[in-house]
């Protein structure tokens, strides 16, 4: 004959059978459940530590595998950027802002033949910051130079500050003619 635990309710001793008062889990025959409360914090802390350690080992292993196999070279992560010397845009194609264009032409002439300017005592500019109203599309341009980080605009980063104003009536006519001719 089976031994029955005295501490369990009678309805739990015969699973699958209904109790006298109705099915298990109903209001007339409730299920009694006891949870253990002790040591849960230590167990959770240990599980968290193991999960973090496992994640660290997996990430380190994948990183070592990528470095060892040279997978990052195949993704193009270590390639150096090569400048494109070919451009179909000339200074005559740029309409508007004649003063800013003249200053940029000086810089381009200097960069093309620096020996000619070095003899006269010229120094190579480290960078040029173009400042102007919204709608000007130039690399390294800003509409709000006062909001730039002080480390970016410190002496030595940008040697010249070229202000690009809004086009006047004649410059707008030149822009329209340029777009209409295409």
Domain boundaries, the chain: 40-74, 92-166
Residue 101's pLDDT is 73
The answer to whether the beta carbons of residues 123 and 156 sit under 8 Å apart is: no
pLDDT tens string, the chain, 182 residues long: the values are 445 444 555 545 555 555 565 567 777 778 777 776 666 788 889 999 999 999 999 999 988 887 777 665 655 555 666 666 677 777 667 666 677 777 777 777 777 777 777 777 766 665 555 555 554 444 566 767 777 777 777 776 666 677 777 888 888 888 888 888 86
Q: How far apart are CA 125 and CA 108, in angstroms?
A: 10
Give the Cβ contact number of residue 158 at 10 Å.
19
Residue 137's pLDDT is 41
Pairing of strands 141-142, 160-163: unpaired
Structure tokens belonging to residue 26: 């109903």
pTM over 0.85: no
Residue 52's pLDDT is 97
**21, 70, 71, 72 from 67: Cα distances, Å:** 69, 5, 7, 7
Residue 113's pLDDT is 76
Residue 125's pLDDT is 60
Structure tokens belonging to residue 119: 């003899």
């Amino acid at each position: 004959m089976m031994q029955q635990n005295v501490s369990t309710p009678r309805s739990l001793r015969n699973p699958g059978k209904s109790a006298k008062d109705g099915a298990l889990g109903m209001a007339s025959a409730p299920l009694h459940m006891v949870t253990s409360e002790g040591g849960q914090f230590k167990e959770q802390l240990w599980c968290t530590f193991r999960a973090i350690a496992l994640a660290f080992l997996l990430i380190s292993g994948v990183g070592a595998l990528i470095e060892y196999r040279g997978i990052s070279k195949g993704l193009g992560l270590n390639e150096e950027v090569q400048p494109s010397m070919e451009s179909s845009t000339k200074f005559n194609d740029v309409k508007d802002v004649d003063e800013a264009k003249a200053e940029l032409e000086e810089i381009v002439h200097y960069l093309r033949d620096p020996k000619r300017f070095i003899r006269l005592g010229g120094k190579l500019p480290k960078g040029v910051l173009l400042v102007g109203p919204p709608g000007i599309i130039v690399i390294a341009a800003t509409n709000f130079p006062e909001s730039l980080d002080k480390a970016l605009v410190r002496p030595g980063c940008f040697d010249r500050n070229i202000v690009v104003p809004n086009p006047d009536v004649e410059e707008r006519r030149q822009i329209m003619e340029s777009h209409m001719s295409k």
